[in-house]
Amino acid sequence: MLRRSRYLAVAGFVVIALSGAAFIAFPGWSQTTHQTVTASLGKPISSSAMEALIDQPGSIAVRTVASSDWKADLSGLINLKDPKAVQAGLVDHEEPIQIYTHLVRHPTQGFFMIDTGVSRQFAEHPESVGVPWLLRNFAKMDKLQVREDALSAITSEGVPLKGVFMTHLHFDHISGMPDVPKDIPFCTGPGEAAEEKFENVVVQGMENRFFDGRPAIQEFQFTTDPDGKLEGVIDVFGDSSLFAILTPGHTAGHVSYLARTPTGPVLLTGDACHTRWGWEHGVEPGSFTFERDSERKSLLQLKALSERHPKMIVRLGHQP
Ligand SMILES: [Zn+2]
């Protein structure tokens, strides 16, 4: 009985946390306890060295796939207490969003994904892949409508998938993992797996199950940007074709990506910015936030980067 009441107290607290309160640090509960190692790919580069190159056409192809439609509370997606949001009269409501995977083709390195999209099994039979009851009931999973599932996206390329670069490890970004072969390496930002917060009481078991039997998570090793314009930059393949940009705040080790395509630079913000309104007004995400000050700084750094390179195409975390 005592155990049951304690469970209900925890469950109630998690419901509150999942339904709008800011993320709360919670020692001992990481996103996943899966092993991590230093990434074999990538070398640090200064932001000025990256920016000297990015307006020159490159050889990477990026196809952004809207894997599913979904809905989330605007108060999670945008900081509604920001003066700009107050002035605009934004009020909380269910906002239509999408879940993406970005299919990256490198002429010699092959085919990689950035984030995983959504597997049909995750969306339609979440209990079968270990999605916990609390998440199924309180993360609006009934509003998840698959458009192009992760498996279709992977097979559409017609070549083997070589690896997955993650912006971060939230459940709506690893939701395509059931479709990703078990031997494929995953890369994240530093400290992403070990990030501790209360909500991980709910999701850690699912994340561990998703990573079970897979290689250790490879963490990019950033160094501080000597130019101070960004937190840190990695040249992923060492040929200045794809860059990982450290953008912490939404999660501890959040990473955005910048690809040099034949038609110009493409910035994939990940959840450094969820929404079009948030990007256009420079307002960071709301309650879906690990650390607000660094999240805001990361968003403003990306906006300034895009303004220095007006031809840059910007693709946001959850809206076109
Ligand atoms: Zn997200």
Write down the pLDDT at residue 26.
Answer: 67
Question: How confident is the model at residue 3, as a pLDDT?
Answer: 46
| Domain annotation covers residue 107 | yes
CATH number assigned to the domain comprising residue 142: 3.60.15.10
- Contact between 313 and 257 under an 8 Å Cβ cutoff? The reply is no
CA of 257 to the centre of ligand 1 (A): 15
Whether 146 contacts 118, CB under 8 Å: yes
What is the 3 CA–ligand 1 centroid distance (Å)? 33
Answer whether residue 20 is part of any domain. no
243-257 tens-digit pLDDT: 999 999 999 999 999
How many CA atoms lie within 13 Å of 13's alpha carbon, on the beta-carbon side? 15
Using the CB atoms, write b or e for 120-141: b if 16+ within 10 Å. Answer: bbbbeebeebbbbebbeebbeb
Read off the DSSP letter of residue 168.
Answer: -
C-alpha span between 5 and 236 (Å, rounded): 49
Average pLDDT over residues 73-85: 97
The verdict on residue 165 lying in a domain is yes
Positive/negative CA dihedral, 295, 301, 303, 305: negative
User: Does position 102 have pLDDT exceeding 70, yes or no?
Assistant: yes
For ligand 1, the distance from its centroid to the CA atom of residue 5, given in whole angstroms, is: 32
Answer yes or no: is 102 within a domain: yes
Structural domains of the chain, count: 1
Which residue shows structure tokens 């020692």?
A: 27
pLDDT digits (tens, 9 = 90+) for 11-41: 444 444 444 444 566 677 999 999 999 999 9
pLDDT reported for residue 1: 39
Residue 311 belongs to a domain: yes
Any domain includes 217: yes
Q: What is the mean pLDDT of residues 131-143?
A: 90
Measured in Å, residue 199 CA sits from the centre of ligand 1 at 15
Burial class, 143, CB count within 10 angstroms (exposed 0-12 / middle 13-18 / buried 19+): middle
Residue 63 lies in domain: 43-315
pLDDT of res. 198: 86
**Least confident piece of the model among 2-16, 61-75, 123-137, 197-211:** 2-16
- Domain assignment present for 212: yes
Q: Is residue 236 part of a domain?
A: yes
Could you tell me the two tokens for 83? 């003066």
pLDDT of residue 23: 55
Q: Give the distance (Å) from ligand 1 centre to CA of residue 274.
A: 7
Distance 99 CA to ligand 1 centre (A): 7
Between the CA of 270 and the centroid of ligand 1 the distance, in Å, is 7
CA of 315 to the centre of ligand 1 (A): 13
Tokens in use for 309? 């390179």
